[in-house]
Chains A and B, each alone.
Chain A
Amino acid sequence: MTTKLMGQKVQRVEDQRFLRGHGRYVDDVAVDPGQHTVLHAAVLRSPHAHARILDIDVSDVLDVEGVHAVYTYDDLASCSPQMAEPLPLLIPHPALTHGRTQYALAKDEVNYVGEAIAFVVADDRYLAEDAVSRIRVDYEFLTPVVGIDAARAATSLVHEDVPGNVGARMEQNVGDAPAAIAKAPHRLELDLTVERSACMPMEGRGTVARWDADINRLQLWTSTQSSTGVRAAVAVKMGLDLGQVDVITPDVGGGFGVKINHPWPEELLVPMAARALGRTVKFTEDRREHFISSAHERGQVQHIEVGFDDDGRLLGLDVEFWHDHGAYTPYGLIVPIITSTQLLGPYKPQNYRVVFESLYTNTVIVTPYRGAGRPQGCYAMERTMDAIAQYLGKDRAEVRAVNFIQPDEFPFDQGMIFQDGRELEYDSGDYPAMLEKIKDLVGWDEFPAFQQEMAEQGRQVGIGLACYVEGTGVGPYEGAHVHIETSGKVKVATGLTTQGQGHATVFAQLVADELGVKFEDVEVVTGDTRRMAYAVGTFASRAAVMSGSAIHLAAKRAKEKVLKIAAEALEADEKDLEIVDGVVSVKGSPGTSIDLGTVSVLSNPLRYAFDEKSKAATQFSIGDPGKPPVAEDDEPGLEGKDFYSPERATFASGMHAVIVETDPDTAEITILKYAVVHDCGHLINPMIVEGQIHGGVAQGIGGALYERMAYDESGQLLNASFMDFLMPYVTEVPDGIDIDHLETPSPLNPLGIKGAGEAGVIPSAAVFAAAIEDAERLSSTGLAITAMPISPSELFTLRQAAVEEVAQQPSRNPRTREDPA
């Protein structure tokens, strides 16, 4: 019997191709050097954060040799009436009372630096950019609204018909938090902020379109996290039937969330131009464009009030936060809804009230970025836990432990509505066991001695801990198609897309296990609407759970058919058959066998003897000569297709701990140890899960210590390049990340799995704030670190403030800590 591949560290089949430069990304599609059959697009983007467009003069562009077309808003209706309407608001919500989306090309007004105004198509991108620089736009300047404070003050409005700049206000209540807090023995208030960052995939956005006038069909390659979504959007916007549009997602060089938003203006403008010009048209976003015209995330201001008892047990939690959603709301309220619900983590607050306002600013739009609102929620809750521990003088781990949902309380209903519109009900988990694991892994109990030892050498070290729960694998569904060819090879298709996660590996593992075929004989295709027309997309750590389950079910169906045909061919009972390495045989009688390729031949009554398999199959006789060759309840071919649709999300969990050292002179922050305990149910491929965690932690370090979007008050992004937007290099990420797993299977899917894609990034801001604070001991009266990310310069500013505080209150010494933890 072959070893089961589920749970094995199977090498990624993708890596040879990617590492040797053989990946095929959108920009590699339709490369035809010298032939000039492909036209290239560039976009004129608003240089102003808020302005009325008075006039656009393209006359200097029209005569430029090599320029084929220039489009502005006024040209859109000639494609179709829908093209001139605002872009879709993908996920409407009743609380989003003032949702607004931009036009594919700005109509009358621009609301952020980077908003698309005109679209030029030329022989090459150089010429297209030359042409863009010749377009003249007259603007009437309006006051830009930049930052949450300005949005709340609302002295100026982003959209004149949105009062107070408030796109949405949403409140959820469990019990009566204000009353519980009022009665609680202890109360605290916290004010916290988190800044913006962004996904920054290696490959930016990109789209290629080819219109085939002979068959009236559009073929579109796009770097997306939802090919079926783009397909539907493009069909509607271009006035085409769905059946006229094929969307193919080739290799995607990272998504991290930004490519789930769709359609981007260029995803519509490129096919529009391709059809109008009868030429293949390509748009490849450059890095500056990615900074100013894709999407950001994370910016929030939070106010927290909490009531608790002497043990630190939460009695009531009242959270109010303000979410900066940028200039438009194409992705609805998903991010702040996630913050407001996932904030609860592994804890039982008893009484919880959360209210948020989602605010307009004249900045790049905000859509989910890996973690999607969870990092902010985790930060709010974990800072609260730290504040409670500090107030009570208790160990920070103990305060967390008293608030945990216990293993015997699952399924645990938090009494709220989650991002998918379903109940926020946790399916499984074991938080006390996980806490023990993380404490062991990081050396929590030994740390005070280490800290003391370091202090004697004049060194400052600190430790932080943060816990989270992550709803993963949200619905509504995902499907899969498994086809066993006459060669015996298995072709698998699932509709969601791949951005480097290793789907071709893990999905092949599942099929090999279920069908009993060799791993090497399974080939997986994702994100191609020609192969799977109904699919949702890759986001919310859902691919393994959703498509993994669907593939498992589809393989099961294919296997049922294999066994039925093989049983007839071998004149055996289905129950007596087994499939090993692609050969069906009667258990205990290995000579009586038939290989899967031959079974595939038998499944198709049309049997031209093209190959040896078909010739061989003639020795087997199946079917009743008195009946139609394809029975009424049967289909020709050896295929299995199925869909998986869970009732709700499955909840993964994790705990991170970090030990940092801060330089007393330069305020530089060094990571000494980073530890992760993670529970995503059964592991399909532990190596891939660990890779996800490594990448997430690296991204989290970026968000906690390096990255921010430095907007000035006029709405200009001052650091729109990799020189000034500081993504961590490998040199800034610790050489080793200590990882331990816990496996509490999900009861919601056949494989018992949970999502793992976002886990590494969620607790970063919380865990670093805690560790740096522990190293610094800046304040004995409250949290010193309330704004993340934190740079050495900002840490130095906090130190100076603490010194001034001491100077004003000489009785208090911030370097002495009352907390014994």
Chain B
Amino acid sequence: MKPAPFEYRRPGTLAEAVEALAGEPNAKVLAGGQSLVPLLSMRLAAPALLVDINEIPGLDTIEIEDGGVRVGALARHAAVLASDDVRRVQPLVPMALSHVAHATIRNRGTTVGSLVHADAAAEMPVVLTLLGGSLEVEGPAGRRTIPAAELFVGPLESSVGHDEVAVSAYFPGLAPGAGVAFEEIARRHGDYALVGAAALVEGESVRVGYLSVSDVPSVVDLTGVADADLGEAALAQLEPMDDIHATAAYRAQLVRVLTGRVVRSARDFAEGAR
């Protein structure tokens, strides 16, 4: 469990980081390293170059912008989770973050890193997708914004180019009168969820995002569905997977249970806000 040899660079500016990436197609960006370092140690990933962005100033910001939250590439999960601004503007973010692994991992791991890693079993990709957020990246051609709907393209695969560095993520704020909720069921405290669900209720609109159900974050629109039918309506649009921890039938059951729970909670949230 020792990584294969790699070159390591620690640029002081974003421009240097982009330049470093441009020179090596088989490069990886290192931020919090909570997913990447285990992959390196198990030799499941063997990049030729690691570009460590931890010394680039100004990337650890958490700012309120246009009624939403912009989270910099070096903002740690723990900092985002602790931010009163984030909690006020988009409470779904801390609701989901409290389920991300364990405290020690949240102290080091970054929210943007988790998005770029694009694990469909992780919390933040679903949250970004459900909220319609986006990722800002910088590459040789300059800066561009990738909407969440175009970001997660496959299992552990995002549309961030190999020559691009993610700079920040944008989570839209919660509209007045809207409600959110997040719940997940995991085997152990801090594990990846067997199934997780995030709900967003805005007026008549009811949407629910799921993690660990399929290999990309899935969001279904349940607007107008009777309460008793929510679970089945969601399942009609999902195809839960089998793995060593749960059968597809059990995951379907959890989708039924969690869908009802999060929609109810989100409605209660909206009620409380009014």
Instruction: Identify B253's interface contact among A125, A732, A796, CB under 8 A.
Output: A796
The minimal Cβ–Cβ distance linking B161 to chain A, given in whole angstroms, is: 28
A129 at the interface (CB under 8 A from B): yes
Please, how many angstroms separate the alpha-carbon atoms of A144 and B197 in the complex?
40
Interface residue A219 (Cβ < 8 Å from any Cβ of B): no
The answer to whether A729 and B190 touch across the interface, beta carbons within 8 angstroms, is yes
Given known pairs A126-B3, A126-B5, A791-B187, the reply for A666 and B254 (CB within 8 Å) is yes
| A171 sits at the interface (CB 8 A) | no
Q: Is the CB of B253 within 8 A of A726?
A: no
Interface string of A791-821 (1 = CB under 8 A from B): 1110011001000000000000000000000
Tell whether A726 pairs with B188 under 8 Å between CB atoms, given A133-B43, A667-B250, A710-B244: yes
Assembly CA distance A724 to B250 (angstroms): 18
Is B4's CB within 8 Å of the partner chain A? Answer: yes
Q: Which of B179-227 contact A (CB under 8 A)?
A: 185, 187-192, 194
B2 touches A129 (CB 8 A): yes
Look across to chain B and name the residue whose beta carbon is closest to the beta carbon of A728.
Answer: B188
Taking the closest CB of chain A, its distance from the CB of B120, in whole angstroms, is 15
**Which residues in chain A, 145-179, are within 8 Å of chain B measured between CB atoms?**
none
A792 touching B250, Cβ below 8 Å: yes
Mask: chain A, 724-737; 1 = CB below 8 Å from B; 0 = not: 10101101100000
| Chain A residues within 8 Å of chain B by Cβ, number | 30
Interface pair A800/B249, CB less than 8 Å apart: yes
Q: Are B250 and A726 in contact (CB under 8 A)?
A: no
B244 and A666 contacting across the interface, CB-CB below 8 Å: no
Chain B residues touching A, range: 20 to 34
Q: How far is the CB of B123 from chain A (nearest CB, A)?
A: 16
The answer to whether A125 and B250 touch (CB under 8 A), given A668-B185, A729-B188, is no
Shortest CB–CB separation between residue A206 and chain B, in angstroms?
14
Q: How far is the CB of B93 from chain A (nearest CB, A)?
A: 24
In chain B, what residue has the closest Cβ to A797?
A: B247
Using A288-B42, A728-B188 as known contacts, say yes or no to A133 and B4 having CB atoms under 8 A apart. yes
Q: Within 8 Å CB of B141, what residues of A?
A: none
Q: Is A130 an interface residue (CB 8 A)?
A: yes
Residues of B within 8 A of A666 (CB): 185, 253-254, 257
Interface string of A774-803 (1 = CB under 8 A from B): 000000000000000001110011001000
CB distance from B235 to the nearest CB of A (A): 15
Docked-complex contact B2 and A796, CB < 8 angstroms: no
Q: Which of A635-669 contact B (CB under 8 A)?
A: 665-668
CA A793 – CA B253 in complex, angstroms? 10
Interface check B103, CB cutoff 8 A:
no
Q: Tell me whether B246 is interfacial, beta carbon within 8 Å.
A: yes
Query: Within the complex, what minimum Cβ distance (angstroms) separates B174 from chain A?
Result: 28
**Residue of B42, B187, B190 ringed by the most chain A CB atoms within 10 A:** B187
Residues of the A chain whose Cβ atoms lie less than 8 Å from the Cβ of B191: 726
Please tell me if A309 contacts chain B, counting CB pairs below 8 Å: no
With A793-B246, A800-B249 given, is the CB distance from A126 to B2 under 8 Å?
Answer: yes
Instruction: Please measure, in the bound complex, the distance between the C-alpha atom of A800 and the C-alpha atom of B249, giving whole angstroms.
Output: 10
- In the bound complex, do residue A724 and residue B1 qualify as a contact, i.e. CB atoms below 8 Å apart? no
- Is there an interface contact between B1 and A797, defined as CB atoms closer than 8 Å? no
| B234-264 interface bits toward A, Cβ cutoff 8 Å, 1 = contact, 0 = none | 0000000000111101100110010000000
A287 touches B1 (CB 8 A): yes
- Tell whether, in the assembled complex, residue B244 and residue A718 are in contact, meaning their CB atoms are under 8 Å apart: yes
Please give, as numbers and ranges, the residues of chain A lying within 8 Å of B250 by CB-CB distance. 667, 792-793, 796-797
CB-CB under 8 A from B2, the residues of chain A are 125-126, 129
**Which residues of A have CB within 8 Å of B254?**
666
Tell whether A706 is near chain B: CB-to-CB under 8 Å. Answer: yes
Contact partner of B247 (CB less than 8 A), chosen from A706, A719, A793, is A793
Q: Is A409 an interface residue (CB 8 A)?
A: no
Whether A724 touches B43, Cβ cut-off 8 Å, given contacts A125-B2, A126-B3, is no
For the complex formed, measure the closest distance between the CB of B58 and the CB atoms of chain A, giving whole angstroms. 33
Check: A286 CB closer than 8 A to any chain B CB. Answer: yes
How many A-B contacts at CB < 8 Å in the complex? Answer: 67
Closest CB of chain B to A660's CB: distance in Å?
16
- Which residues of chain A come closer than 8 Å to B5, judged between CB atoms? 126, 130
Kindly report which residue of chain B lies nearest to residue A665, judged by CB atoms: B257
A363 to chain B, nearest CB (A): 16
Cβ distance A284 to chain B, nearest Cβ, rounded Å: 10
Closest CB of chain A to B80's CB: distance in Å? 23
Complex Cα–Cα for A718 and B257 (A):
28
Is there contact, CB below 8 Å, between B249 and A724?
no
Q: CB within 8 A of A729: which of B4, B189, B247, B253?
A: B189
Chain B contacts of A668 at CB under 8 A?
185
Q: How far is the CA of A729 from the CA of B185 in the complex (A)?
A: 16
A130 to B46 CA separation, bound complex (whole angstroms): 11
Alpha-carbon distance A793/B189, docked complex (angstroms): 17
A710 to B242 CA separation, bound complex (whole angstroms): 13
Give the shortest distance, in Å, between B90 (CB) and chain A (any CB): 28
Among A125, A721, A732, A796, the residue within 8 A (CB) of B249 is A796
Residue numbers in B under 8 Å from A726 (CB-CB): 187-188, 191, 245
Considering only residues 1-49 of chain B, those with a C-beta below 8 Å from chain A are 1-5, 42-43
Complex: A710 Cα to B244 Cα, angstroms: 7
Are the CB atoms of B4 and A719 closer together than 8 Å? no
**A729–B187 CA distance with the chains assembled, in angstroms:** 11
Contacting B at CB under 8 A, from A96-154, are 125-126, 129-130, 133
| Docked CA distance A287–B38 (Å) | 12
Minimum distance in angstroms from B19 CB to a CB of chain A = 28
Does the CB pair B185–A793 fall under 8 Å?
Answer: no
Give Cα A724 to B245, complex, Å: 8
Minimum CB–CB distance from A650 to chain B (whole Å) comes to 37
Query: Would you give the shortest CB distance from A678 to chain B, in whole angstroms?
Result: 27
On chain B, the residues within 8 Å of A126 by CB distance are 2-3, 5
| Structural contact, B4 and A732, CB atoms closer than 8 A | no
Give the distance to chain B from A330, nearest Cβ to Cβ, in Å: 25
Bound together, the chains give a CA A664 to CA B191 distance in angstroms of: 22
Q: Which residue of A lies closest to B192 (CB)?
A: A723
Query: How far, in Å, is B107 (CB) from chain A's closest CB?
Result: 17
Interface residues of B in 150-191 (CB under 8 A from A): 185, 187-191
Chain B residues whose C-beta falls within 8 Å of the C-beta of A723 in the assembled complex: 192
For the complex, what is the distance from the CA of A724 to the CA of B244, rounded to whole Å? 8
Q: For B4, what are the chain A residues with a Cβ–Cβ distance below 8 Å?
A: 129-130, 133
The interface centre, meaning the residue of B194, B249, B253 with most chain A CB atoms within 10 A of its CB, is B253
Q: State how many angstroms separate the Cβ of A509 from the closest Cβ of chain B.
A: 37
Interface centre among A666, A667, A729, A791 (most CB of B within 10 A): A666
Kindly identify, within residues 5 to 56 of chain A, every residue whose CB is under 8 Å from any CB belonging to chain B.
none
A732 & B189 in contact (Cβ 8 Å cutoff): yes
Q: Across the interface, which residues of A come within 8 angstroms of B188, CB to CB?
A: 706, 726, 728-729, 731-732
A residues less than 8 Å from B43 (CB atoms): 129, 133
In the complex, residue of chain B having the shortest beta-carbon distance to the beta carbon of A708: B244
Distance between Cα atoms of A758 and B162 in the complex (Å): 53
Q: Are B189 and A731 in contact (CB under 8 A)?
A: yes
Report if A797-B249 is in contact (Cβ < 8 Å); known contacts: A133-B43, A288-B1, A732-B188. Answer: yes
A718 to B245, CA, bound (A): 11
Could you tell me if B244 and A719 are in contact, using CB atoms closer than 8 angstroms?
yes
Chain B nearest Cβ from A404, distance in angstroms: 38
Given A125-B2, A286-B1, A729-B188, 8 other A-B residues pairs in contact with their CB atoms under 8 A: A129-B4, A133-B43, A666-B253, A668-B185, A718-B244, A726-B187, A729-B189, A732-B188
Task: Give 26 pairs: A residue, B residue, CB < 8 Å, sorted on A.
Answer: A126-B2, A126-B3, A129-B43, A130-B4, A130-B5, A133-B4, A287-B1, A288-B42, A666-B185, A666-B254, A666-B257, A667-B253, A668-B185, A718-B244, A724-B244, A726-B187, A731-B190, A791-B245, A791-B246, A792-B250, A793-B245, A793-B246, A793-B247, A793-B250, A796-B247, A797-B247
Q: Which B residues form the contact surface with A (CB < 8 A)?
A: 1-5, 42-43, 185, 187-192, 194, 244-247, 249-250, 253-254, 257
Residues in chain A within 8 A of chain B (CB atoms): 125-126, 129-130, 133, 286-288, 665-668, 706, 710, 718-719, 721, 723-724, 726, 728-729, 731-732, 791-793, 796-797, 800
Top 3 A-B residue pairs of the complex, sorted by shortest distance between their CB atoms: A731-B189, A793-B250, A286-B1
